[in-house]
Structure 1
Amino acid sequence: MIYLIGMGPGNIKYLTVDALEKIKVSSKIVAFGRLSKIAEELVGAATKITKVEDVLNHINSDENIAILASGDPCFYGLLEYLKNKNIEVDEVIPGISSFQYMMTRLKKSWHDAEFISLHGRNESLDRALKSSVSVILTDRKNTPHSISKTLYEIGVRGILYAGFNLSYEDEKIVLASIGDDIENISDLSVVVIENEMD
């Protein structure tokens, strides 16, 4: 059995009961850096990987394997990658996405939001021009600072919220005007844009 398990935004208290049960019955756990530490806390051991491609080296149909993914594996997540590699996942266990957590912290609805992932992707920010609310997933290259500057250059005006280390003890949410300089507090961040549309 291959379980693809959404681990939520990071803090173990946001892990679902189902996810916890599947981790405990798995004979092998494959996880990225910070997630491997959580797995070690829960069951004592995990195979730590550093690249998405490394997952493929640890899949064996004779074992119950738990592949741990941050957030929700169905939202710009690992499920898409595994399907493209013809890996059949037996069960996907959902997790709370970092953007869902961020919107609850802001106490804002996201049902009309535009979603853009710059996490390991090269998507355009032009879609943010047409939406009053945009949610942007970031990475080391596409930081809240660079997003703020790019949005300003393409004509977006309004407010930007940058959430760093969401759900962890050192969580910080910064409010800025689009175009402002934003300190890169952490590589773990989510950006929410409120566009002042005409």
Structure 2
Amino acid sequence: MEVMEAIKSYENVVAFGRVSNSLEIIRKDIIKINKIAYIDKLIKEYEHILILASGDPCFYGIVEYLNRQNIVIEKIMPGISSFQYMMAKLGKSWQGANLLSLHGREENLDTIKEHKFSIILTDKDNSPSSISKRLYKMGIEGIIYAGFNLSYEDERIIKVNIGEALEDISPLSVVVVENAMD
């Protein structure tokens, strides 16, 4: 409710593509951006703006970027993260899970060997199928769950064994690795 009121009351509202599309029913004048770097320009142009991003802005989200740019954040109102949503859909606890992001960055997948569950944010270059292949080459066995377009009408969750063929339906995905540890 607090976020809804902010969307309605702020003079300048900025949102990333899919977020702005889903909010058009509330407000038609949302400034749509596709790259995080555009925020710098808008902050210089407008004194107060509301920035809308999906998920939890504190988990590999926009807060990290704004802090690096020394941009003052007055308030953070987080949403549910894609990995929280995915684990709820799977009915699995994520307590103690290994959390990784390959969304626009590279990370070593070796830590997956040490955890029963690993949750990975992906992008078009680090897709669920490429992660599955990498894990298979590393000798990791178990199951991969790939969630695509989570919380949208075309949401799909696919379950395969590590190394099996996996169709990359969308770059909007989360991977959960259930490691068959000895």
Q: Flag whether TM exceeds 0.5 (same fold).
A: yes
Matches within 5 A, 1:37-116: 37-60=21-44, 63-116=47-100
Partner residue, 1:14: none
Partner residue, 1:22: 6
Counterpart AA for 2:99: F
SS in 2 for 1:119: coil
Are the counterparts in 1 of residues 12 and 46 from structure 2 also a CA contact under 8 Å? no
Partner residue, 1:120: 104
TM-score, structure 2 normalization: 0.96
Counterpart AA for 1:23: I
Partner residue, 2:152: 168
Structure 1: which 5+ runs fail to align?
1-16
User: 1: distance between equivalents of 2:103 and 2:43?
Assistant: 24
Counterpart AA for 1:176: V
In the TM superposition, what is the alpha-carbon distance from 1:63 to its structure 2 partner? 3.7
- Number of aligned pairs? 182
User: 2: distance between equivalents of 1:148 and 1:166?
Assistant: 19
User: 1: distance between equivalents of 2:11 and 2:164?
Assistant: 48
Deviations 1:152-190 (A, max 9, x none): 111211000000111111111000000111101111110
TM-score, structure 1 normalization: 0.88
SS in 2 for 1:160: strand
User: Over aligned residue pairs, what C-alpha RMSD do you find?
Assistant: 1.2
User: 2: distance between equivalents of 1:90 and 1:108?
Assistant: 34
User: 2: distance between equivalents of 1:55 and 1:159?
Assistant: 39
SS in 2 for 1:55: helix
Q: 4+ residue stretches of structure 1 with deviation over 3 A?
A: 60-64
Asked if 1:144 corresponds to 2:114, the answer is: no
Matches within 5 A, 1:186-197: 186-197=170-181
Structure 2: which 5+ runs fail to align?
none
Are the counterparts in 2 of residues 39 and 45 from structure 1 also a CA contact under 8 Å? no
> Of the two structures, which has the highest relative contact order with CA contacts closer than 8 Å and spacing of 6 or more?
1
Partner residue, 1:183: 167
